[in-house]
Structure 1
């Protein structure tokens, strides 16, 4: 399923600032906006700006659009959460007033607004503070009432139960279910494109209820994740993915694997007088399988995907496979040798390449879960 959409016009790029830029949703939104450089220009934000009125005012004055995501989700003290979240919204309001800003402000809130707890109260009051500013100053505001969000790189024991389960199942721990209720869910990338579409609309909506894209029991999610552990993490098999939710959940699960220790995974090689046999991939889904030769010294790749599942399998020759999450500087190096055939799977949002570091041709089998479509390639070029 494609989430990409075309540039809406030929005007100069909208300047977008995100409070909470390095948080779970904020980092996904920031990285996705970077896929549309002709439409959006990102204004850098640092959390320290909330403690420096000059820097906060400088940030606000640059922005055509501000997406206010900065908030505290968990703390030992509910009162501290309440005061922090309301305080952050008020600091933003004060800056909007000082700078006479006409920015379109989108503020994230939660379906917990209606619950009798201080977190929900803090989100409701923070949203209302932004709405009041807009009404009093001719501003433009969108209040995003968001269900439970899950996706790659969420913080375990903080962002969602799915983040916690995924971390536990990839780090030798056993998840337990406290309450097996139904949970309304939205995948982070689905939320991000909803936010982007609201930015494009330029319309005010003080109370926009974001519809969940799936509703699942906690036990149902855990059953799927346990299957991914058994089939994929332990056995190397790509599991059956029946729908978009399962595809998103599988990519979420993959993001919690410690790539440094898990890869490269060596194949089981069967040899007899005729030669050798290796099973490269066992599939519960389809896709596209390709074979390549690479001459010594040549590098392929240097791109990343936001949704595709991909495997590089080295069959002959010597290779260096490199991965780097696009918003970090850390490069992971994996050395593979065809004398012991092995594979590395590519995580989403990691730019990756493969280089022939040997003296003979490198033989590689590539598998990816969807055939290449040049009009929706989900392939973004970036040097590792």
Structure 2
């Protein structure tokens, strides 16, 4: 088992890396870290001593004063190096630098110099070091106006604001889960690399991305239709977009019901994508689910009976409760990284239609069981 410590573990990349590592609890042990460790030598040294690998992600990305970004980022690196020296650590230190190194700004300068300081520590102390040069990262739960322009666009489109393009250039991008897998791969390597260029997985113009996001807003956010997903990038972009909904306000979504003397007709889902549709009955008091997905798009539609659908983002304690009644058919879509369940809270059988965007593959089910 590899003991891994992550500074910046609550940040955008850090939280995704933690969640990916937790998918393999028999292989990786996560050492607890808190940002106040940087202010306490004893706590920081205790953290460093436990680690086989340290992924240093903690950094200041934006501030009104670039000088503060520069000084803070170097301060964090130097404090970590001091602890590595005090503890005579042989941990594999992995540092997240940025393609901004190539640009003339203080953030990029702080990243380059921080990488060089850690590489120098490794040379002088027999340490193991990998310096990652990372392209632009996007994915679910990033902070708007902070982590990426995609996070900003997604937030604006789902909160009644209008995105504006400042510079319509081509951007090298990597999805945050793809980056987490690359970091884990580096942890597993026997030797470090002073400079490791993380390859981008897509190259897109800003305007091209905005057009796709506006389409998601028009047909999914406003109409409930699952858009056509042509490739992995579009799936990742769509799942990113979905993460910016205010779930409490958006769900459950009521369906249009047409009744006549024959009975009722209800349209469940419109698709620009294939997938698998299933129907279930659930007896009173029974709960289904208690699992989460990292990539799948899933819709639960209640057409008869009374149901409680619960969602919880796996690294939070907040449980979202949605009450659905077949007398007013409605659906809730399951965001990725949210564990979810559905319980029959009525006295009659519950009828539910489940749709998911890919057919079930037992060898790659993307289903991880976790109580809500």
TM-score range, shorter chain: over 0.9
Distance in 2 between the 1:30 and 1:94 partners?
A: 25
| 1:96 counterpart (84, 107, 122) | 84
Residue aligning to 2:236: 248
Deviation of residue 202 (structure 1)?
2.6
**Match among 66, 70, 75 for residue 82 of structure 1:** 70
- The equivalences for 1:1-384 within 5 A come to 13-384=1-372
Cα distance in 2 for partners of 1:326, 1:38 equals 19
Q: Could you tell me how far 1:372 is from its partner in structure 2?
A: 1.0
Q: What is the alpha-carbon distance in structure 1 between the residues aligned to residue 268 and residue 42 of structure 2?
A: 57
2:335, 2:190 → 1: CA distance? 34
Q: Aligned partners of 1:298, 1:356: CA distance in 2, in Å?
A: 6
For 1:78 and 1:66, the matched residues in 2 are separated by 27
- C-alpha deviation, 1:81, in angstroms: 0.2
What's the secondary structure of 1:205's corresponding residue?
Answer: coil
**In 1, Cα distance between the equivalents of 2:190 and 2:279?**
47
CA-to-partner distance for each residue in 1:59-93, whole Å, 9 max, x for gaps? 00000000000001000000000000011011110
TM-score scaled by length of structure 2: 0.99
Distance 1:277 1:197 in 2: 51
Q: Which residue of 2 aligns with 1:6?
A: none
In the alignment, is the contact (CA less than 8 A) between 1:104 and 1:202 conserved in 2?
Answer: no
Secondary structure of the corresponding residue to residue 252 of structure 1:
helix
SS at match of 1:206: coil
Give CA-to-partner distance per residue, 1:186-226, whole Å, 9 cap, x none: 00000000001111123210100011101111100000000
Secondary structure of the corresponding residue to residue 355 of structure 2: strand
How many angstroms apart in 2 are the aligned matches of 1:172 and 1:231?
A: 15
The TM-score normalised by the length of structure 1 is 0.96
Q: Distance in 2 between matches of 1:43 and 1:309?
A: 32
How many angstroms apart in 1 are the aligned matches of 2:76 and 2:170?
Answer: 31
Distance 2:107 2:161 in 1: 29
Partner SS for 1:323: strand
Query: What secondary structure, in the 3-state scheme, does the structure 2 residue paired with 1:128 have?
Result: helix
Separation (CA, whole Å) in 1 of partners of 2:217 and 2:104: 37
State how far apart, in whole Å, the 1-side matches of 2:232 and 2:364 are. 17
